[in-house]
Amino acid sequence: MELRRLDDYQSWALELGGKRLLIDPWLTEEMSLPPGHWLFGRRRVAPAPVTQWLPVDALVLTAHFSDHLHPATLSMLPKTTPVFASTGAARLVRKLGFTQVTALADGERAQVWDGLELEAIAPGFPYTHNSIGVAFTASGKRLYFETHVVQPERAKARLGKVELLVAPVQSVRLMGIPLVMSPERALEVVKVLAPMKWVPTGNDPAAAHGVFSRTMLFYRGEVGDFRALLQREGATTTLLEPAPGQSVSV
């Protein structure tokens, strides 16, 4: 498996056996939550090579929020593209006209194509029932993708050894509620799950703009803070930071 970063935020491509799937793609220059940029939005710093990545063989959507399920990006894809999604995201993409949609709840599995399987794993609070983490397995190797909060004990019991974990390490809080893991919480995941490699996603969340971002969300921590914690702990997990367009092998 090759995991390729597509942008400076949280769009990814997984490549295996000459096939490719996209994970939570945002392939336009701007993204915003309804009702518009004045509330919450983000502009791309590193443009994605849109034409290079379309069409694709499958699509994975971990949540129904607009920074994961981006309608303008999905309009670029054929409606026959197989979609594997959280239950909320599945409902929305069906309304957008997609015809091959598999809704996934915690513990459910599916075969993406021959040689690649996935399993849904519920995130930690507050996303336990409105988002999914996804574990991809190919040739006995496992890539675990979580865009918000890892539940390390659940993941350990379900997955065992994880070659690559893709998860955020920069804290985002809403009125004291942790929406995204801090460097310290990410270290607790390492202590339990002990992934061989960790690639941060959802980078630089403070780059968002709009009233919601400026007044309701609080940001803390950098990737470098997490790296320092790993070194201080003597962890064997290797932290990797691929640039847009670069990939990591699993």
* Residue 36 CB contacts under 8 Å (≥ 6 apart), including other chains: none
Quote the CA–CA distance of 207 and 213 in Å, as a whole number: 9
pLDDT value at residue 47: 62
Has residue 216 got a pLDDT over 90? no
DSSP 66: T
pLDDT value at 105 more than 90: yes
Phi, psi of 105 (to 5 degrees): -110, 170
Mean pLDDT, to the nearest integer, of 176-192? 95
Residue closest to 144 by CA, chosen among 157, 128, 130, 155? 155
The domain made up of 2-240 has a fold known as: Metallo-beta-lactamase; Chain A (3.60.15)
Supply the pLDDT for residue 116. 98
Residue 107 has pLDDT above 60, yes or no: yes
The string of pLDDT tens digits covering residues 18-69 is: 999 999 998 888 888 777 778 888 888 766 555 677 789 999 999 999 889 9
Q: How far apart are CA 246 and CA 250, in angstroms?
A: 14
Q: How far apart are CA 182 and CA 189, in angstroms?
A: 11
Of 196, 244, 2, 240, the residue nearest 116 (C-alpha): 2
Please check the confidence at residue 244 and state whether its pLDDT lies above 90: no
188: region left, alpha or beta (phi > 0 left; psi from -120 to 50 alpha) = alpha
At 213, is the pLDDT very low, low, confident or very high (cuts 50, 70, 90)? Answer: confident
Q: Distance between CA 5 and CA 244 in Å, rounded?
A: 5
What is the structure's pLDDT at 84? Answer: 98
pLDDT at 17: 93
User: Given this model, what pLDDT does residue 50 score?
Assistant: 58
What is the spatial distance between Cα 239 and Cα 107, in angstroms, rounded to a whole number? 27
Beta partners for residue 204, in sequence order: none
Q: Say how far apart CA 184 and CA 162 lie, in whole Å.
A: 20
With b meaning 16 or more CB within 10 Å and e meaning fewer, what string describes 224-239? ebbbebbeeeebebeb
How many percent of the chain have pLDDT more than 70? 97
Alpha helix ranges (H) inside 69-140 = 71-74, 87-95
Q: Residue 64 and residue 40: Cα distance in Å, rounded?
A: 16
Quick one: pLDDT at residue 18? 93
By the 10 Å C-beta count (0-12 exposed, 13-18 middle, 19+ buried), 223 is classed as middle
Beta bridge partners of 19: 16
Q: Please write the tens of the pLDDT for every residue from 126-153.
A: 999 999 999 999 999 999 999 999 999 9
Q: Using a cut of 0.85, tell me whether the model's pTM lies above it.
A: yes
